Amino acid sequence: MAGTETPRVREGFWRLTLFSLAGPFLWALHFGALYGVQHTACLATGVARDGGGITVYIAVATAAFLVPLLALVFKPRLVARLFRARFADEALERFLLSAARFMAGLSAFGVLGAGLAPFFLRDCPPLG
């Protein structure tokens, strides 16, 4: 029957879901943090310039986001314990750990790509 699952079952579902999607979620946060801060800083200064604090911020933010992503890739069971994820059986555990590892690896490449962009492009290019 629909709606008869216990709160504990629902909580377990959400813990597994959040664990599985942690990599893409971190990638999205990194993307927003980088481009939000960069564009706000460019608008605040009002000039197109190269170098400076934005590049340093992007490098630090990228390193900070890569640490948990690499933990998800290389130690997914440890991260699952941090989420207090409980797997129903071994097959589900193997699948979700593999899926989380794959998505975290893909997300790490996305974070690295966005983090390396300022080393090849200007910080605040002119828009006209």
Task: Give the per-residue pLDDT at 10.
Answer: 63
pLDDT of residue 66 exceeding 90: yes
Residue 52 main-chain phi, psi, to 5 deg: 105, -165
Mean pLDDT confidence for 88-97: 83
Distance of alpha carbon 52 from alpha carbon 37, whole angstroms: 13
Range in 46-50, 79-83, 100-104 with the lowest mean pLDDT = 46-50
Q: Are 30 and 111 in contact (CB under 8 A)?
A: yes
Distance of alpha carbon 91 from alpha carbon 88, whole angstroms: 9
pLDDT of residue 113 exceeding 80: yes
What's the DSSP call for residue 118? G
Task: Give the per-residue pLDDT at 3.
Answer: 59
Residue 54: pLDDT band (50, 70, 90) is: confident
